[in-house]
């Protein structure tokens, strides 16, 4: 092989050199000593190739600058794969070569070029760029030349900036999930770009220009932004943040400001340290006068546009804001009681008291707010000597930073849900404190999220709590601010939620005895409050739950208010003050609104049967009060209802029925006092989480077995019942709001079985056993094996298709556990309900025949002992099903089934 060939053909050179090395290793001397001369020639060629690589990078960078066509062509040629090969070959490349190659990468992605970003969206490319930037930034000395290193530092920071722009482009383009780009072991590489601002020491001891300083800040904020993306996208995999760091980060940070706690060596602890201690590196002169060595620059030294302290602090604050969002996102998955996280909550509690640091206080309260989504955690946060209430109260001041106020009211909204917390927060006068903060004042209207969340706190505290409800009505400051907010706000959500505060107050006060109710409820009979309900009724017509709540509130006022209340309700909205008329809740007389609900105009939407029933109840109350206008309206409605029925269009004419499953309630009626029905319907997901049907994409599918129930919550509740003998404290049901067509049973049979269960209870009591009964009612009880295993006696009612369909159509409106309302669309039974019914039960019957098939052997008496009944219509059939159920239950109890709770 000739020397010329060696210098021009690298492939042949490598092959020849490999053969030559092999011969040299096998003998003491080469057969041809002149062959040794080829070695320096090859090394000289390698030096030339590096120069060529540098020029290729420069040319590529220029070709793709602002040129989409060339970008596409270069990507298609495999240029990116070649760069990956070069950068992962562990070659020591000159800084100038790296700069040109990095510039070409930057120009390929600077405008989010599709094909380039898509190809780079792999772990290999992302990790290559991150490791290259890390190596340059943390270990720059190997690129320094003798003398002043400022130019090399400038090049290093600009290269790192370019690489970070590529990393950011890949993340923001969201081609692939972030977790597919990063290994757990790579997290320290991100953190090292934060280290100069926690240790206040740079990785190098050389003077930096203001340009290099700004780039260092830019790299830090880019790393923080990437960590934020990880935090918000990797909440299901906390290992990235809780695993021990794979290697020690240079400059681990100043620990002086940390509380006395043993923090683990993981990424989350490092981020907490960054938030608490980050500040400019000590070697930076933020007025442009002091070098890294502490010497003053000459007066003639040229430092154009020096970095100011304010600019540096602003950049650090930007980085901290990203990290706070990451920490808050991660707190969604953290448990307040988990031992390995105790150190984290110690920090959060300490930060609640750092009133001079609004960012830390907001981060802490937001994190506690996330963990308070779980009721046990919410209760624990307000219990005993570790209660968070003193810290909350200390920050509830008018001058408190807006972000902190937002965090506090968000936390309070979650804390105010458990019944025990309602008492604690009520006794602490939290509602009055909110008013004193001024969150509902007109000057705060631009802060709609804070106002709305604060309204939610009061709404929660008043729900089912007469004492808190009375405190609101008796506090003119609170009531006045809420009423002014309703009148003034242009946000329908805030107006309606504030109106629902008064609904909750009415329903809570109406639930106590007349003596306890006293004049407190009478204070609600006020023109402004009545007008709120009427405007909620009119403005919320598209939201049935709002309409129903306003009707119920007015009905309760009519029933329990002082003499003259009904007349006041009728007349209060006829001439509302002009300053209270707002878009969506404008004033209108009540009676025409009620009549329009029962007798809609042509083209208007027909109200649900439940709402129609409640309207007629309210009209009856108003008419019985002697009010002539109400009597006239009631007569008009009665006549219209009768005409509609005569034409075959029935209209609901009485109070809506309570209950869902008749058999379960008939059985409950003969069991001892305190026996409970647990409705599976109460575990349906929120309406926004219900998926659409795969076959009918325009329809939400409320009945598909895998998704129609929040199975984890249902199993947890059943497990709690078996372990404690009571429902969870905060379990709530909306079944009583759902319409039910009642069918009775034989009173003789009912009495006989009531005596049988009383005898059973007495027999058990003689043995020291108190029976506690729970009836679990559901339409897909036997779909989930975990649920099935938690039930002792299994009954199944098999009903023919035609009866199921008619019953469903008779009751098309469902009040949901989350507070919304669902009404069946046309053909919903045939398209969604019945196919789901078959899917949920075909595994129980032979050949999947849910109507006529025999039980599979595994489900019969020799297996899971499922008892199947097939009642038809009417009282006699219901009585048969009732009797059979009682027989099975009594027999099972005598066989000592059930769970012993001590």
CATH code, 671: 3.40.50.300
- The 10 Å Cβ neighbour count of residue 660 is 23
Decide if 273 contacts 365 (C-beta within 8 A).
no
By DSSP bridging, strand 867-869 and strand 795-797 are parallel
pLDDT value of position 240: 79
Rounded Cα distance between 160 and 155, Å, is 9
Rounded Cα distance between 493 and 673, Å, is 41
**Coil, strand or helix: which one is 821?**
strand
Q: What is the pTM of this model?
A: 0.65
Structure tokens at 645: 């029925």
864 in a structural domain: yes
Last residue of one domain, picked from the residues 380, 408, 425: 425
H or E element in which residue 246 lies: none
Structure tokens at 756: 């049988």
Rounded Cα distance between 822 and 112, Å, is 44
What does the DSSP 8-state code read for residue 783?
T
Structure tokens at 597: 């609900």
List C-alpha distances in Å: 620 to 351, 533, 633, 673.
58, 18, 10, 33
Strand partners for 775? 677
104 in a structural domain: no
pLDDT value of position 654: 26
Task: Produce one character per residue of 851-884: b if its CB has 16 or more CB atoms within 10 Å, e if not.
Answer: eeeebbeebeeeeeebbbbebeeeeeebbbbbbb
pLDDT value of position 603: 65
Rounded Cα distance between 874 and 422, Å, is 45
Q: How many domains does the chain have?
A: 3
Decide if 170 contacts 117 (C-beta within 8 A).
yes
Question: What value does the mean pLDDT of the chain take?
Answer: 77
List C-alpha distances in Å: 632 to 156, 261, 556, 569, 592.
87, 74, 21, 15, 11
- The 10 Å Cβ neighbour count of residue 173 is 16
Q: What is the pLDDT of residues 223-269, one digit of tens each?
A: 998 888 877 765 566 777 888 876 655 443 333 344 444 667 788 88
Decide if 415 contacts 382 (C-beta within 8 A).
yes
What does the DSSP 8-state code read for residue 284?
-
118 in a structural domain: no
What does the DSSP 8-state code read for residue 825?
P
Q: Consecutive 10-residue runs of the chain (902 residues): their mean pLDDT?
A: 47 58 58 61 63 82 84 87 82 82 87 79 87 83 62 82 87 74 81 81 66 86 87 69 68 40 76 90 62 38 66 91 92 75 90 93 94 89 92 93 92 93 95 92 81 93 91 92 91 91 89 62 86 86 84 84 82 48 46 78 69 75 68 65 51 30 76 79 77 80 87 89 78 45 74 88 83 85 86 84 73 45 67 88 88 84 77 80 87 74 53
Q: Annotate 639-680 with DSSP letters as a single string.
A: HHHHHHHHTT-----SPPP--S-HHHHHHHHHSPTT-EEEEG
Last residue of one domain, picked from the residues 407, 425, 443: 425
431 in a structural domain: no
Rounded Cα distance between 493 and 449, Å, is 10
Per the listing, tokens 């379960």 go with: 664
**Coil, strand or helix: which one is 425?**
helix
Strand partners for 823? 813
Last residue of one domain, picked from the residues 364, 395, 425: 425
Strand partners for 679? 777
643 in a structural domain: no
237 in a structural domain: no
Write out the residue range of the structural domain in which residue 343 sits.
339-425
13 in a structural domain: yes
**648 φ, ψ (degrees, to nearest 5):** 85, 20
Q: What is the pLDDT of residues 744-756, one digit of tens each?
A: 788 888 889 888 8
377 in a structural domain: yes
Q: What is the pLDDT of residues 300-357, one digit of tens each?
A: 344 556 778 888 889 999 999 999 999 998 888 777 667 778 889 999 999 999 999 9
Per the listing, tokens 């969340």 go with: 453
By DSSP bridging, strand 813-815 and strand 795-797 are unpaired
């Amino acid at each position: 092989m000739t020397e010329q060939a060696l210098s021009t053909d690298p492939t042949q050179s490598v092959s020849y050199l490999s053969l030559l090395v092999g011969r040299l290793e096998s003998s003491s001397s080469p057969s041809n000593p002149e062959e040794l001369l080829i070695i320096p020639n090859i090394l000289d060629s390698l030096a030339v190739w590096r120069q060529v690589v540098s020029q290729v990078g420069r040319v590529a960078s220029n070709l793709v600058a602002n040129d989409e066509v060339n970008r596409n062509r270069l990507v298609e040629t495999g240029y990116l794969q070649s760069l990956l090969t070069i950068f992962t070959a562990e070659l020591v490349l000159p800084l100038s070569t790296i700069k040109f190659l990095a510039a070409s990468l930057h120009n390929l992605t600077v405008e989010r070029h599709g094909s380039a970003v898509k190809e780079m969206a792999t772990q290999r490319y992302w990790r290559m760029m991150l490791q290259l930037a890390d190596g340059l930034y943390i270990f720059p000395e190997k690129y320094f030349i003798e003398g002043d290193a400022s130019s090399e530092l400038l090049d290093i920071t600009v290269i790192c900036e370019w690489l970070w722009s590529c990393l950011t482009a890949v993340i923001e383009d969201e081609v692939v999930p972030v977790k597919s780009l990063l290994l757990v072991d790579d997290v320290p590489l991100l953190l090292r770009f934060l280290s100069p601002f926690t240790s206040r020491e740079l990785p190098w001891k050389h003077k930096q220009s203001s340009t290099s300083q700004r780039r260092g800040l830019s790299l830090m904020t880019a790393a923080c932004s990437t960590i934020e993306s990880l935090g918000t996208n990797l909440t299901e995999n906390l290992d990235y943040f809780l695993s021990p760091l794979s290697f020690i980060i240079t400059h681990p940070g100043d620990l002086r400001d940390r509380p006395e706690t043993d923090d683990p060596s993981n990424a989350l602890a490092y981020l907490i340290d960054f938030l608490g201690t980050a500040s400019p590196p000590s070697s930076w002169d933020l007025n442009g006068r002091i070098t890294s060595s502490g010497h003053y620059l000459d007066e003639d030294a040229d430092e154009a546009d020096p970095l100011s302290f304010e600019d540096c602090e602003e950049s650090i604050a930007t980085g901290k804001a990203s990290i706070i969002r990451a920490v808050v996102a991660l707190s969604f998955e953290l448990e307040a009681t988990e031992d390995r996280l105790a150190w984290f909550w110690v920090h959060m509690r300490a930060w609640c008291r750092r009133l001079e640091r609004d960012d830390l206080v907001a981060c802490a309260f937001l994190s506690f707010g996330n963990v308070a989504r779980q009721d046990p955690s919410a209760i624990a946060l307000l219990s005993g000597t570790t209660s968070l209430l003193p810290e909350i109260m200390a920050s509830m001041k008018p001058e408190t930073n807006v972000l902190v106020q937002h965090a506090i009211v968000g936390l309070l909204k979650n804390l105010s849900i458990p019944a025990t917390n309602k008492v604690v927060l009520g006794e602490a006068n939290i509602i009055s404190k909110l008013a004193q903060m001024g969150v509902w004042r007109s000057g705060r209207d631009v802060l709609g999220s804070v106002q709305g969340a604060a309204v939610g706190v009061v709404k929660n505290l008043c729900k089912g709590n007469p004492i808190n409800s009375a405190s609101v009505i008796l506090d003119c400051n609170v009531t006045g601010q809420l009423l002014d907010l309703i009148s003034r706000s242009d946000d329908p959500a805030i107006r309606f939620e504030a109106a629902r505060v008064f609904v909750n107050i009415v329903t809570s006060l109406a639930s106590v005895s007349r003596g306890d109710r006293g004049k407190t409820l009478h204070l609600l009979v006020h023109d402004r409050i009545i007008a709120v309900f009427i405007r909620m009724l009119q403005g919320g017509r598209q939201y049935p739950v709002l309409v129903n709540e306003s009707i119920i509130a007015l009905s309760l006022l009519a029933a329990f208010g002082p003499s003259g209340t009904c007349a006041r309700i009728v007349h209060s909205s006829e001439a509302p003050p002009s300053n209270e008329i707002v878009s969506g809740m404008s004033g209108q007389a009540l009676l025409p609104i009620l009549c329009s609900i029962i007798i809609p105009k042509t083209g208007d939407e027909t109200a649900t049967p439940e709402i129609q029933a409640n309207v007629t109840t309210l009209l009856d109350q108003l008419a019985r009060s002697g009010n002539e206008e109400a009597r006239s309206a009631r007569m008009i409605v009665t006549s219209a209802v009768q005409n509609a029925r005569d034409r075959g269009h029935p209209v609901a004419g009485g109070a809506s029925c309570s209950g869902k499953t008749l058999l379960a309630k008939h059985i409950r009626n003969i069991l001892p006092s305190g026996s409970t029905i647990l409705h599976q319907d109460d575990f349906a997901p929120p309406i926004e989480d219900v998926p659409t049907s795969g076959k009918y994409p325009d329809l939400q599918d409320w009945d598909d077995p895998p998704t129609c129930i929040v199975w984890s919550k249902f199993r947890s509740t059943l497990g709690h019942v078996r372990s404690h003998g009571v429902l969870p404290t905060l379990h709530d049901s909306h079944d009583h709001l759902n319409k039910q067509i009642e069918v009775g049973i034989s009173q003789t049979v009912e009495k006989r079985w009531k005596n049988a269960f009383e005898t059973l209870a007495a027999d058990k009591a003689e043995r020291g056993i108190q029976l506690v009964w729970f009836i679990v009612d559901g339409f897909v009880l036997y779909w989930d094996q975990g649920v099935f295993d938690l039930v002792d006696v299994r009954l199944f009612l098999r009903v023919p298709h035609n009866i199921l369909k008619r019953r469903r159509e008779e009751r098309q409106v469902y009040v949901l556990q989350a507070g919304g309302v669902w009404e069946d669309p046309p053909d919903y039974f045939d398209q969604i309900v019945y196919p789901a019914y078959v899917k949920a039960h075909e595994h129980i019957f032979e050949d999947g025949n849910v109507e006529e098939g025999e039980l599979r052997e595994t489900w019969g008496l020799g297996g899971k002992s499922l008892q199947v009944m097939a009642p038809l219509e009417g009282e006699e059939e219901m009585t048969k099903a009732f009797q059979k159920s009682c027989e099975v239950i009594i027999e099972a109890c005598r066989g000592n089934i059930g769970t012993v709770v001590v």
